């Protein structure tokens, strides 16, 4: 419960307002049993006569009564009534205390009881007193005397009784209306507070997740984070709303009702503890059975979401390989486990309400059964017993409400723990408190200094002792076999991961000493999967720069060779983009992702295999445009095609996580066997400046063998021109050489 209470931080005024309104509502509702008791005991049994103090009395009757009083009491009574009128009737003065327990009532009760005893048969007091204890007989005889006095004055006793019942009816109606109004106000405040807490929690969760590195996302999994931000928050919202409306209300009702029952002193008070113990026992059993299953249920919800997300993301290959049946069985398995857990908890929860209703009915039967004997002995009034039953039901109902909320509480408690687990997780990558500023005059320089990196939990590093520098305006290409660590290496620059050893510097400062906003504001990053967001083409290109102008958007699209297909689409730059860019091709998606990176006008442009879906013609045109338009931008290119990077100022060859060679295309062909193997697998011998025999001899020396020659020959038909320059002396010439 403490985990849930933490969500009320910032909403204390709403909590106090609900508590005050619930107190008012409880006072209203607890007044109703008292009114019902008065209707039975006073309105019915006493004919509507509330007190033994008559409002009007004959002068001679009052004289007879005062004759039996002490002097002080006689003086009090005489001073409380006006002088007799012409008919000899004395009327109670407005300021006189006519209450049932006041001094005037105590002065009149004994004389009236003495005179009323003589009238008992005529007034029907014996029938009334049969339901009262000896202590109440005197009061009932006094009331019988007052009733006979009213009859003697010619008062309509039926009208008197009806007037009292009407007054009580209006009072009960007013109290009910007040309770209704309080309930409405509590419901309104509780709903707004629950919705506000859910909104704030979702915002806080999303903000926290946005700060997570891939390590934290991988620790929780995307499916679990989605579940925690939706299903778990919804559980918290529902329980908080119900708590404000019911959980706070139930103890107030129960405590006050227990006080009322204790003060009644009916001799039946023992029934209440028995009922409460029975309800608490039921709740304890329920908690013991359901709490472990609720924890399991949340994990199973995560799994169902994970499988569903997996199926939706892989829908095309699933259909292509005709695996729909297998995947449906996998989803059914996860769903069936969740169903079984929900069925068990649902069955247990379903037994709670009938069990508590049984307790309530047994309590009613016990009160009536044992109360009948007390009434028969004359120690309890019928109306008092009815009020006792009402208070007993309120007490048991309060615990029933708590039990109903307890049905939801275990799951909400688990949800709260899962939410706080995310909120309390500190991101492994964060801005330093004393962030440094880049060195003046050094812009766009990227350095890798003896960089070693291993993924969390991995035994072997992905990168080992990588060391090279990319100066401003240079193009540095990174190539290597699949799994060599190329994408991992460039992801260290914007701090998607942090190095395990060594350092990565931007503009002369370790990236770990720069603020994340400052660092990432200098970088345009195009990942392997050029993910687009639901919106328009323009909104996706302008995604990285607030307030990007139409001219900037259009220029970025032109450089990225995307303007042509954009203008062909209906709506142009306002054409819609569906979720994840599913309504554009892979090559179009990559070009839009490149345009998005260019729109921020970065100092450093990172292209992580961003040309893989482009045809050779578009590839060459894009590289030429980049060389001409962003010549002062530092470019890091990860590529699989040798043709894409042949004109780079420097090529870094990665092999099994280490640097196998650095240099220009021509230099690496002469001195880097790993690069030669890659180039030979893609280019014909004449494109490498060798004869077939020379290439075969070199490959044999590098243990590449016949396979490389065959693949190289197979690719010789590709329409790729040989490089005009292999020196890499100039950025523009290098980038344009393959254009």
| pLDDT at 349 exceeding the cut of 90 | no
**51: confidence class by pLDDT, cuts 50, 70, 90:** confident
- For residues 481 and 569, state if they share a domain: no
For residue 727, name the pLDDT band (cuts at 50, 70, 90): very low
Coil, strand or helix at 371:
helix
The predicted pLDDT at position 647 comes to 85
Same domain (yes/no): 724, 585: no
pLDDT in tens, 427-462: 888 888 888 887 766 678 899 999 999 988 888 899
Q: Which is higher by pLDDT, 233 or 135?
A: 233
Rounded CA-CA distance 278/280 in Å is 6
Domain interval for residue 731: 446-522+603-736
Dihedral pair phi/psi, residue 523, rounded to 5°: -115, 135
Contact indicator for 265, 379 with CB cutoff of 8 Å = no
pLDDT at 254 over 70: yes
pLDDT score, position 100: 67
CA separation for the pair 595, 413 (Å, rounded): 46
Pair (276, 361) in one structural domain: yes
User: Higher confidence at residue 644 or residue 467?
Assistant: 467
Predicted local distance difference test score (pLDDT) of residue 704: 43
Q: Do 471 and 517 share a domain, yes or no? A: yes
Does residue 346 sit in the same domain as residue 461?
no
Q: How many domains does the chain have?
A: 3
Task: Classify residue 82 by its DSSP letter.
Answer: P
Check: CB of residue 642 under 8 Å from CB of residue 712.
no
Per-residue pLDDT at 189: 92
Q: Are residues 263 and 345 in the same domain?
A: yes
Which parts of 605-703 fold into alpha helices (H)? 616-629, 642-645, 665-671, 673-682, 692-701
Per the domain annotation, does 90 fall within a domain? Answer: no
pLDDT tens per residue across span 666-700: 888 888 888 888 888 888 877 777 777 777 777 76
Terminal C-alpha separation, the chain: 67
Q: What is the mean pLDDT of the chain?
A: 80
Report pLDDT digits (tens) over 384-419: 777 777 777 777 777 777 766 666 777 788 888 889
Distance of CA 17 to the CA centre of its chain: 23
For residue 95, is it within any domain? no
Three-state SS at 637: strand
Write down which residue in 549, 576, 601 finishes a domain: 601
Residue 221 host element (H or E): none
Cβ–Cβ under 8 Å, residues 413 and 168: no
Dump pLDDT digits (tens) for 537-578: 999 999 888 878 889 999 999 999 998 899 888 889 999 998
**How far is the C-alpha of 503 from the C-alpha of 492, rounded, in Å?**
9
Look at residues 551, 581, 601 and tell me which one is the last residue of a structural domain.
601
Tokens representing 120 are 């008992």
Q: Mean pLDDT over residues 164-183, rounded?
A: 91
Domain containing 536 — which CATH number? Answer: 3.40.50.300
- Has residue 494 got a pLDDT over 80? yes
Q: For 35-39, 285-289, 415-419, which range has the lowest pLDDT when averaged over its residues?
A: 285-289
Mean pLDDT of 511-533: 88
Q: Is residue 695 part of a domain?
A: yes
Question: Cβ(3)–Cβ(416) under 8 Å?
Answer: yes
* Gap between the Cα atoms of 598 and 630, Å rounded: 9
Q: Are 683 and 720 in contact (CB under 8 A)?
A: yes
Of the listed ranges 13-27, 400-414, 651-665, the one predicted with least confidence: 400-414
361 and 452 co-located in one domain: no
| CATH number of the domain within which 347 lies | 1.20.1560.10
Based on the fold, state whether residues 643 and 675 are members of the same structural domain.
yes
Tell me: do 380 and 286 sit in the same domain.
yes
Higher-confidence position of 599 and 37: 599
| Mean pLDDT to the nearest integer, 318-335 | 84
According to the model, what pLDDT value does residue 243 have? 80
């Amino acid at each position: 419960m403490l985990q849930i209470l933490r969500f009320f931080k910032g909403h204390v005024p709403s909590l106090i307002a609900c508590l005050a309104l619930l107190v008012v509502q409880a006072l209203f509702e607890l007044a109703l049993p008292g009114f019902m008791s008065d209707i039975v005991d006073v309105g019915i049994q006493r004919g509507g006569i509330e007190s033994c103090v008559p409002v009007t009395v004959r002068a001679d009757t009052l004289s007879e009564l005062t004759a039996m009083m002490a002097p002080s009491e006689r003086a009090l009574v005489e001073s409380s009534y006006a002088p007799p009128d012409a008919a000899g009737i004395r009327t109670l003065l407005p300021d006189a205390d006519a209450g049932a327990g006041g001094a005037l009532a105590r002065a009149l009760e004994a004389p009236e009881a003495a005179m009323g005893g003589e009238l008992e048969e005529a007034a029907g007091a014996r029938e009334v007193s049969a339901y009262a204890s000896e202590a109440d007989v005197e009061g009932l005889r006094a009331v019988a005397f007052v009733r006979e006095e009213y009859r003697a004055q010619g008062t309509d006793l039926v009208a008197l009784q009806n007037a009292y019942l009407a007054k009580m009816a209006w009072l009960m109606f007013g109290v009910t209306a007040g309770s209704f109004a309080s309930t409405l106000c509590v419901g309104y405040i509780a709903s707004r507070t629950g919705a506000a807490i859910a909104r704030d929690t979702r915002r806080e969760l999303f903000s926290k997740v946005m700060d997570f590195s891939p390590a934290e996302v991988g620790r929780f999994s995307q499916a679990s984070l989605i579940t925690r931000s939706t299903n778990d928050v919804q559980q918290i919202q529902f329980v908080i709303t119900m708590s404000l409306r019911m959980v706070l209300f139930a103890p107030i009702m129960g405590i006050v009702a227990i006080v009322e029952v204790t003060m009644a002193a009916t001799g039946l008070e023992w029934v209440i503890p028995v009922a409460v113990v029975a309800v608490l026992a039921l709740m304890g059993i329920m908690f013991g059975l359901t709490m472990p299953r609720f924890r399991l249920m949340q994990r199973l919800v995560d799994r169902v979401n994970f499988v569903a997300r997996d199926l939706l993301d892989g829908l095309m290959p699933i259909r292509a390989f005709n695996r729909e049946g297998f995947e449906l069985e996998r989803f059914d398995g996860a769903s069936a486990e969740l169903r079984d857990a929900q069925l068990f908890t649902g069955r247990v929860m379903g037994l709670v309400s009938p069990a508590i209703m049984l307790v309530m009915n047994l309590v009613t039967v016990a009160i009536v059964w044992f109360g009948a004997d007390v009434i028969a002995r004359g120690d309890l009034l019928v109306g008092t017993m009815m009020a006792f039953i009402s208070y007993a039901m309120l007490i048991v109902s309060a615990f029933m409400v708590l039990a109903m909320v307890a049905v939801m509480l275990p799951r909400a408690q688990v949800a709260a723990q899962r939410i706080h687990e995310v909120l309390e997780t500190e991101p492994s990558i964060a801005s330093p408190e004393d962030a440094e500023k880049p060195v003046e005059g050094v812009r766009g320089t990227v350095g890798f200094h003896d960089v070693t990196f291993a993924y969390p939990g991995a035994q072997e590093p992905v990168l080992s002792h990588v060391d090279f520098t990319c100066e401003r305006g240079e193009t540095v290409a990174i190539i290597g076999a699949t799994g060599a660590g190329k994408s991992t290496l460039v992801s260290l620059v914007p701090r998607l991961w942090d190095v395990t050893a060594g350092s990565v510097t931007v503009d002369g400062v370790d990236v770990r000493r720069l603020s994340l906003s400052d660092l990432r504001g200098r970088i345009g990053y195009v990942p392997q999967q050029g993910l687009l967001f639901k919106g328009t083409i323009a909104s996706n290109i302008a995604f990285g720069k607030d307030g990007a102008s139409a001219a900037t958007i259009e220029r970025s699209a032109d450089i990225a060779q995307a303007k042509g297909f954009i203008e062909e689409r209906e709506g142009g730059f306002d054409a819609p983009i569906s979720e994840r860019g599913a309504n554009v091709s892979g090559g179009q998606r990559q070009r839009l992702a490149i345009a998005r990176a260019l729109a921020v006008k970065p100092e450093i442009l990172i292209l992580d295999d961003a040309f893989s879906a482009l045809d050779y013609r578009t590839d060459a045109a894009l590289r030429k445009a980049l060389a001409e338009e962003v010549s002062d931008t530092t470019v890091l290119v990860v590529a699989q095609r040798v043709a894409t990077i042949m004109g780079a100022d420097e090529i870094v060859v990665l092999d099994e996580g280490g640097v196998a060679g650095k240099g220009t295309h021509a230099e690496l062909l002469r001195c880097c066997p790993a690069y030669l193997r890659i180039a030979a697998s893609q280019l014909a011998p004449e494109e490498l400046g060798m004869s077939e025999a020379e290439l075969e001899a070199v490959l044999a020396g590098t243990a590449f063998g016949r396979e490389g020659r065959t693949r190289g020959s197979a690719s010789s038909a590709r329409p790729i021109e040989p490089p005009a320059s292999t020196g890499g002396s100039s950025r523009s010439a290098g980038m344009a050489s393959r254009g």
